[in-house]
Chain A
Amino acid sequence: MIKISHVTKKYGNFKALNDLSFEVKKGTIFGLLGVNGAGKSTILSILNGLCKIDAGEIQIAGFDIKKDIQKIKEISSIVPQNLAFYDKLTVKENLDFFSKIQNAKKENYDKAIEVNGLESVLDQRALTLSGGQKRRLNIAIGLLNNPQIIYFDEPTVGIDPKSRNEILSSIKNYKNFGITVVYTSHYMNEVEKICDEVAIISHGKLIKQDSLKNLLSKDNPKDQTALEKHFLELTEESYV
């Protein structure tokens, strides 16, 4: 679904991405792990057309990112880490706005509300929502255009465990709708819970890409901290 080949991105002399290559299979939940500054946000920005690459190639659903960015934007969606909606508008006004500017279908609009359990707060101003409800609204907006690919940039930051579990369960369900999910997070247990495949990047380079099953089985598959240990080993090595 997503094929990243030898991509380099520079900010001045700083190489944010350095000859990065990996692939994401259709219908999977793909975890993108890395320490702060590893290049996760840069990748997401590039994949969403918010930033251009200096070298390399990217194909998304068969479209070339350099030539067909408009089409790519139509079939994908990003749920940013920040709550990217309007505090002073109600939940319904926010969803109406983001729905109309994308010409979203009514069924997608209703599905976004239902999947994220926002029915009871539709007339509430976004400012007055709880942390979990705000996160769910942020996600619902990302579902309005019925995307084939959805990018989550640390979507559970600053919320309670109950809301986090609800969000993770709903993301896991997207697989049933055939949606490909790219998920970045600092929480290893989240990645372990929902991801099929994981890529670990450091200094803009791919350190490791494998299925979650393979990564865990190398140590003790029942060990809750196995992925975290693996991640720390790999990223520390790359810093040496």
Chain B
Amino acid sequence: MFKAMIKKEFLLVLRDKQALMVLFIMPAIFILIMSVAMRDIFSQKSVRFDISIRDLDKSSISKELIKTLRVDKSFDIVKAEDAKLSITIPKGYGKEDVANKKKLNINIKSSLKSDEIELFKAKLSKDVISLKLKIIKVKMSEFSDVAASAIGSITLEPKKLFSIKYNKSKNIPNATQQSVPTWIVFSMFFVIIPMSTIYINEKKQNTLARLSSMNISVITIALSKIVPYLFIAQIQMVLMVLVGMYIVPLFNTPALVINGSILALIFLSFALSLCAIGLASLIAASSNSSEQATTIGGISNILLGAIGGVMVPKFIMPPIMQKLADISPMSWGLDGFLDIFLKGGGIATVLNNSIMLILFGAVTLSLSMLILKKKLL
């Protein structure tokens, strides 16, 4: 009997083209688009600026400045038309006069973000100050070798000024590592669409009542709906991971790397899908029309996603929002996936989050069964 109920549910979902689009095609496309679109934002490579230089001074100092900028790995000197920033060295810039107030003129050609402009200014300042220190050193050597040597020992190289320990570097995901778990979580919760459509059609057409009159219990009806969707959710997870691993890299974007345990990934995925199915069952059982269910389901998914770090990554949220995120089951799932993908987590790492997801699923499923029983009897 149970086998027949599961088979029926599978056939109904597989014949629902819209549901398949929402469950498989939409998240796969989103992973691709979001990974490629956010590639540069999540990139941890050092920033390089395309600059052009116009030397109106033609002095030894201006030539030395150009030489310094050429060796600086932060700058790529390109043709004027290709440059995002152009530097003009004004006539008289290298004049050795205390009263010389000539400044470099910077023209920002394309739209750069304010933090990029600040970074450019810091990098350029460092090169200009280095050059000025060199000039002072030469001048001082005429009077005192000790003083000149002291000035020569001044360095502006960050590596020589401070040591940096990147304790958290591994915890910041790249674009693909952020996109894949985000859309796995989000798409699993969209199970509400096919589930509510089938549930409500069954209610409307009295098929549920007919099943009940055939001695089929509410528990059997509910359980027969869980199994196919649990299976479908695992296919969703595998498909999204494969897109991240093999399709996204074709678009010059980092591939998804699973640093953690595959077993933990499967365990977490089951827990998350149970949670999503529970919520979907509850909404479907309480709604009177599929329009009502998809509206409530859609809004709750978007809210849980916005709170839980699906729309905006949690690590860039302010602390208060990060705390608020913890109330969303989507955040529990997302954190679990990031633990596996980034930190190499295993079952133990994701156990707490998985238990919370399973409990949420169990509570919502029980509530949905109670509602269904009340509506049927």
User: Which A residues are within 8 Å of any B CB, using their own CB?
Assistant: 45, 48-52, 70, 73-74, 76-78, 80-89, 93, 96-98, 100-103, 141, 145
Pair B207/A86 contact, Cβ less than 8 Å: yes
Pair B12/A89 contact, Cβ less than 8 Å: yes
Q: Mark B208-232, 1 if CB is under 8 A from A, else 0.
A: 0111111110000000000000000
Pair B213/A77 contact, Cβ less than 8 Å: yes
**Quick one: which of B204, B206, B214 has the most chain A CB within 10 A?**
B214
Instruction: State how many angstroms separate the Cβ of A49 from the closest Cβ of chain B.
Output: 6
Contact of B15 among A52, A83, A84, A88 (CB under 8 A): A88
B7 at the A interface (CB under 8 A) = yes
B11 at the A interface (CB under 8 A) = yes
**Please, which residues of chain B bring their CB within 8 A of the CB of A45?**
209
**Quick one: which of A45, A70, A97 has the most chain B CB within 10 A?**
A97
Question: 3 nearest interchain CB pairs?
Answer: A100-B4, A84-B210, A48-B213
A141 CA to B204 CA in the complex, in Å?
18
Contact of B204 among A82, A88, A98, A103 (CB under 8 A): A82
Pair A85/B376 contact, Cβ less than 8 Å: no
**Please, which residues of chain B bring their CB within 8 A of the CB of A102?**
214-215
Instruction: State how many angstroms separate the Cβ of B296 from the closest Cβ of chain A.
Output: 24
Pair B210/A73 contact, Cβ less than 8 Å: no
Could you count the A-B residue pairs with CB atoms below 8 Å apart for me: how many are there? 70
The chain B residue with its CB closest to the CB of A48 is B213
**Please, which residues of chain A bring their CB within 8 A of the CB of B12?**
86, 88-89
Instruction: State how many angstroms separate the Cβ of B210 from the closest Cβ of chain A.
Output: 4
**Please, which residues of chain A bring their CB within 8 A of the CB of B216?**
101
Could you write out 28 A-B pairs with CB less than 8 Å apart?
A: A45-B209, A49-B213, A50-B209, A50-B213, A50-B376, A51-B377, A70-B215, A77-B213, A77-B214, A80-B206, A80-B209, A81-B206, A82-B206, A84-B205, A86-B8, A86-B207, A87-B201, A88-B15, A89-B8, A89-B11, A89-B12, A97-B4, A97-B7, A97-B8, A100-B1, A103-B1, A141-B210, A145-B214
Q: Number of contacting residues on B, CB 8 A?
A: 25
The chain A residue with its CB closest to the CB of B212 is A50
The chain A residue with its CB closest to the CB of B15 is A88
What 5 additional pairs, Cβ within 8 angstroms, besides A73-B215, A101-B1? A73-B214, A86-B8, A86-B12, A100-B1, A100-B3
Instruction: State how many angstroms separate the Cβ of B224 from the closest Cβ of chain A.
Output: 9
User: Which B residues are within 8 Å of any A CB, using their own CB?
Assistant: 1, 3-5, 7-8, 11-12, 15-16, 201, 204-207, 209-216, 376-377
Interface of A is mostly: loop
Contact of A80 among B3, B5, B8, B210 (CB under 8 A): B210
Pair A78/B207 contact, Cβ less than 8 Å: no
Instruction: State how many angstroms separate the Cβ of A232 from the closest Cβ of chain B.
Output: 29
Instruction: State how many angstroms separate the Cβ of A101 from the closest Cβ of chain B.
Output: 5
Instruction: State how many angstroms separate the Cβ of A135 from the closest Cβ of chain B.
Output: 13
A145 CA to B1 CA in the complex, in Å?
14
A95 CA to B1 CA in the complex, in Å?
13
**Quick one: which of B1, B11, B206, B376 has the most chain A CB within 10 A?**
B206
**Please, which residues of chain A bring their CB within 8 A of the CB of B206?**
80-82, 84
Instruction: State how many angstroms separate the Cβ of B310 from the closest Cβ of chain A.
Output: 31
**Please, which residues of chain A bring their CB within 8 A of the CB of B213?**
48-50, 73, 76-78
Instruction: State how many angstroms separate the Cβ of A100 from the closest Cβ of chain B.
Output: 4
The chain B residue with its CB closest to the CB of A70 is B215
A96 CA to B5 CA in the complex, in Å?
11
Instruction: State how many angstroms separate the Cβ of B1 from the closest Cβ of chain A.
Output: 5
A86 CA to B14 CA in the complex, in Å?
13
A78 CA to B214 CA in the complex, in Å?
9
**Please, which residues of chain B bring their CB within 8 A of the CB of A96?**
4
